[in-house]
Amino acid sequence: MAELTRRRQYGVGATGGRIGHLLDSERVFGYVLVAPAILYMLLLVGYPFAIALWFTVSDATVSHPIGPFTGLKNLQFVLDDDVFKRALANTLIFTIVSQILQMILGTSLAFLLVRRFRFRRIVRGLVMVPFTVPVAIGAMAWNWMLNPTYSVVNWLGTHLGLLAPPGPNWLGEETYAMVSIIIVNVWRNLPFTAIVLTAAINAVPKEIIEAASLDAAGWWTRWRKIMVPIIAPIIYIALLFSLVFTFTDMTVVWLLTRGNPVNSTHVISSYAFVTGVLSGGLGRGATMSLFLFPVLLAAAFMLLRNLKARSID
């Protein structure tokens, strides 16, 4: 009561009266303010996810979204589909190979960017370009660079003596198409890996490194005993994110090859798009998308553990 009187006296209570008093309870205030976010996410992420689960066990099509219950028929169909099996394998290949290349090149680039040099900001800006340009646009630029007739990559390659003229048909031959997709994925994600690593390396206190140098610790010992333990948690998070993004992305594949030649370069999400959206097979498409879920769940779990561990310190 005393508080209310005081508030009236100053005339600053934004929400006077009963509601204002209720909002002053920490718990009610918390729930009320966080509710819109939770509701939005439940309605547009939770609910659709439930629909997706229903789609996987029903014969849903675009014309009959509420199809009859068909049990595991969709799963059976999807697992018998050779294109899907190939897409599943491709997704794993693209993700793993791109991640490895990104980590190797990203670490090298990070160590170069840590150094102070002239025009550092400009160079950093240029190196960051692939990450800052919308994915669809980057992928389209590469499509043009790898064009069968006007490929500038082939022109440069043959003139530098790296490729035998006339150079490969990058997007038209299976192996080269796979390589192209990996190159564009690496191009796209390398800056992210590098910039997170640079930030991580910069976060290592200089005194520790100097102290280690004074103790005559060699380059390898300094790296392994000091740098790695400090930057590991950050790399871990960066890796998780870029893993999830590469694993679930369909933009690069869709804009480079549309899954061609002869459906050999599809990934899970691009084939789910073809099946679910273009052919209208909601049930089968949703079943395919659901194959992304275990990896997402694992990533979420690892991220969660990491966050929990940090909030305890």
Partner 1 sequence: MTAATLRRPTHSLGFRLRRLRSNVLFALALAPFVLFAAFPVYWMVITAFKQVNDLYNLQNNPILFHLAPTLEQVQYLLEKTPYITWFINTIEVGGLVVLITLLICVPAAYVLSRTAFPGSTTLGIGIFLTYLVPPSLLFLPLSQLVVGMGLINTKWALVLVYPTFTIPFCTWLLMGFFKSVPREITEAARVDGCSRLGALFRVVLPVSIPGLLTIVIFAFTLVMQEYVYGLTFVSSSDQKLITLGVVTDLVRGDVFFWGSLMAGALIIALPVAIVYNIFLDTFVEGITGGALK
Where helices occur in the chain by DSSP H, the ranges are 2-10, 17-23, 26-41, 47-56, 73-80, 82-114, 120-132, 135-145, 152-159, 174-203, 206-214, 219-221, 228-248, 251-256, 268-273, 282-290, 293-312
Q: If DSSP codes are grouped into helix, strand and coil, which group holds residue 185? A: helix
Give the one residue of 79, 125, 174, 218 binding partner 1; rule: CB under 8 A: 125
Applying CB under 8 A, does 142 fall inside the site for partner 1? yes
Applying CB under 8 A, does 69 fall inside the site for partner 1? no
* The Cα angle at residue 74 between residues 68 and 76, in degrees rounded to 5: 135
Closest by CA to 55, choosing from 299, 294, 281, is 281
Applying CB under 8 A, does 20 fall inside the site for partner 1? yes
Give the one residue of 71, 149, 175, 262 binding partner 1; rule: CB under 8 A: 149
Nearest distance from C-beta of residue 215 to partner 1, angstroms: 25
Nearest distance from C-beta of residue 98 to partner 1, angstroms: 14
Which of residues 212 and 240 has its CB atom nearest to partner 1 in the complex? 240
According to DSSP, residue 115 is labeled S
Which tokens sit at 21? 């008093």
Applying CB under 8 A, does 146 fall inside the site for partner 1? no
Contact 84, 90 (CB under 8 A): no
Q: How far apart are CA 119 and CA 127, in angstroms?
A: 12
Binding mask 271-300 for partner 1 (x = CB under 8 A): -xx--xx----x--xx--xx-xx--x--xx
Applying CB under 8 A, does 65 fall inside the site for partner 1? yes
Applying CB under 8 A, does 205 fall inside the site for partner 1? no
Q: Residue 262 burial by CB count (10 A; 0-12/13-18/19+): exposed, middle or buried?
A: exposed
Give the one residue of 167, 168, 191, 259 binding partner 1; rule: CB under 8 A: 191
Give the one residue of 88, 94, 95, 130 binding partner 1; rule: CB under 8 A: 130
Task: Report how many residues bind partner 1 under the rule CB under 8 A.
Answer: 109
Nearest distance from C-beta of residue 128 to partner 1, angstroms: 6
Task: Tell me the DSSP string of 259-292.
Answer: T-STT-S--HHHHHHIIIIIS--HHHHHHHHHTT
Nearest distance from C-beta of residue 96 to partner 1, angstroms: 18
Nearest distance from C-beta of residue 80 to partner 1, angstroms: 20
Which of residues 104 and 215 has its CB atom nearest to partner 1 in the complex? 104
